[in-house]
A and B are shown apart, each in its own frame.
Chain A
Amino acid sequence: MVTARLERVKLPEPLMRAEDLYASGRYLEAAGVLNAAIERSSSQMPERVRSVYVERNALADATIAECSMALLHDPGNANARKFLDEAYESKVELLRSLAG
């Protein structure tokens, strides 16, 4: 799935880096790369709008942390994999929507 994402479009640099990390199982590092990009992109937003992005992004971070930990215990757990992927995708979408 990650490979398919890479082939689909030419991605901006932080996304490329995050995708590489994610594909190699370094989920938290991938999230960190996206967080830095999200932080940069949202710094100019009005606080009222930004707070929604921040909250949504924080939920995704928490999910990535919990699911990646769960996959250490049960690597084949379908739910942990599914929600990890969803959380990561939501961060990518956040970044994309911030970039306009």
Chain B
Amino acid sequence: MWWCVGVGLWMRFPSQGVAQPVLEHQEVTEHHAPWEPGKRVVIRHSYGAIRLRAVEEGTTVSVRAHHQLAGMTRQAIQAYLHAFRINVQAFDDRVEVVTIRPTGEHKLLNQTTVDLDVVVPAEVLVDLSTRFGDLDVQGVGELKATAPFGAISVRSVAGNVTLEGKHGKVQIHDVRGDVRVTHSLGDVEVTRVEGSLVARNQFAQIRAQGIRGRAVVENRSGPITLVNLSGGAEVTCQHAQVAVSRVTGDLQVTNRDESVAVADVQGTVVVVNANGPVKARDINGDLKVDSRFGTVEVSQVRGKLTVEHSNGELSVRNVKGPAVLTNSHGLVQVDGVEGDCRIRNEFGAVTVRMVLGRLDVLNAWGLVQADLPPGGVRPAGSAKPAALAAPKNGETEATPEDAPAWYLETNHNNVILGVPSGTGCTLSVEANSGLIDAQFPLMKQRVGSKEAAHGDVQGGGMKVDVKVDLGMAQIQKRPAGSTGRQRK
């Protein structure tokens, strides 16, 4: 049923650049249908906005249609209005709201937009679509909506929300169920969701905050910013920045050409990036980073740290667990690892400070500089730690008993070992084609171009092996209490 309650308002305006004046007509019509519990509401609209509100204990579906027409003649407008239909009908399983536009082109009309104000009972499931109009929904039971050419705003939904958009900004707030949103060219903003979130976009940003369930977020060329995720997250991007912080649960981030920043995570973190910097801090779990180009900066990791890097600087600070670090063409800087630490590099320097566990460094063409921590490393365990378990190519793995606590090797550069005053170690140094320069008395032996030295330094202690193929091995004194860190 439908009837017109509004009084038509006619106005005459001069049209822009056209001699003929334009008539504008506004009219409001109202339409109703009874609703019973269990029925969903289906709304199909095409040209105009939909504003949807829910009322407690409602028993009807009510529609107020705001017709905005403009045209050259009153007859053209009236003919259009006469042919335009808004059907609000109750069926067995649903109440339908369908707008039916007169067919064909209406060349004498400049505007035929109809905006709908719809009121439904609070607990109802609504399935709606409009093509060229905004969508504003508040308070329904569950929502499934498509609005490709309009902004979408959804608030306070008791159940799930599924949105499909394309253009325009999407804002979703306060949803008790799950949220799924697929978009392309407008920003997506989601806050306070009790369930899970699946959000996909292509060329605009995604921002989400306060997601209690798992978040799966995917973007192509728009940035992703996620904060306060209680159920972990899986984040995939290609050509834009990703920033994720305050996460409980496991987190996986994949990017290709832009930066990744991860902070405050209570769980395992895996970051895969190809061509952008990676920053990770305050990870209360294991962290694994797989990166190719760009800097990698890691600090405050409580679990195991694994970094597979290849072309860029790698900086690691304050790791509670073990660390396995691989780089190829870039500096490796380590400052503070409480567990065992294994480092592989090829063409960049490796500097190590405050590694309290066992240390195993192999560099091909770069400097290795490592300072023993004051007091030496913690006692070695009975078995070789997992971080050091992988033997070097072509070598047999040393037994736990004769394995050095620290092993430093470079092939075509120098090794500099710093020993703080009061810290003892048992040194074994080997330079195949080079020199050994020690600031401590050591037993030296030279055979041809090969020089070797060994001895207890400052009373002996942990076993430290240094090996240089072509270069210099330098054993240097450090002041007492020195952490090797530069003072500001």
Residues of A with Cβ closer than 8 Å to B?
52, 55-56, 59, 63, 66-67, 70, 72-80, 83, 86
Contacts and interface: CB of A to CB of B under 8 A. Distances in A.
B415 to A, nearest CB: 40
Contacts of B150: 79
Contact of A76 (B113, B184, B203): B113
Contacts of B110: 75-76
Contacts of A70: 47, 131-132, 149
A73 B167 CA distance: 19
B94 interface: no
B185 interface: yes
Interface in B157-200: 166-168, 184-185
A80 B68 contact: no
A78 B70 CA distance: 13
Given A52-B239, A56-B203, A70-B149, A75 B109 contact: yes
Contact of B167 (A63, A72, A74): A63
B184 A59 contact: yes
Given A52-B221, A56-B221, A79-B150, A74 B105 contact: no
A76 B67 CA distance: 12
Given A59-B202, A70-B47, A76 B68 contact: yes
A79 B45 CA distance: 14
Contacts of B203: 56, 59
B interface secondary structure, majority: loop
B291 to A, nearest CB: 18
Interface in B66-81: 68, 70
A59 B220 CA distance: 13
A76 B70 contact: yes
Given A52-B221, A59-B184, A74 B111 contact: yes
Contacts of B185: 59, 63, 86
29 contacts: A52-B220, A56-B221, A59-B184, A59-B185, A59-B202, A63-B166, A63-B167, A66-B149, A67-B132, A70-B131, A70-B132, A73-B47, A73-B106, A73-B112, A74-B111, A74-B112, A74-B113, A74-B132, A76-B68, A76-B70, A76-B110, A76-B111, A76-B112, A77-B111, A77-B112, A77-B113, A79-B132, A79-B133, A79-B168
Nearest to B70: A76
Nearest to B133: A79
A74 to B, nearest CB: 4
A66 B149 CA distance: 10
A66 B167 CA distance: 12
A53 B24 CA distance: 42
B132 to A, nearest CB: 5
B134 interface: yes
A73 B101 CA distance: 9
Contact of A80 (B109, B149, B221): B149
B148 to A, nearest CB: 8
Contact of A86 (B68, B106, B167): B167
Interface string B436-476: 00000000000000000000000000000000000000000
A45 B409 CA distance: 43
Nearest to B151: A79
B70 A83 contact: no
Nearest to B221: A52
Contacts of B133: 77, 79
Contacts of B47: 70, 73-74, 77, 80
Given A66-B149, A79-B132, A79-B150, A73 B113 contact: no
Contacts of A79: 132-134, 149-150, 168
Contacts of B113: 74, 76-78
Contacts of A74: 47, 111-113, 132
Contact of B105 (A56, A72, A86): A72
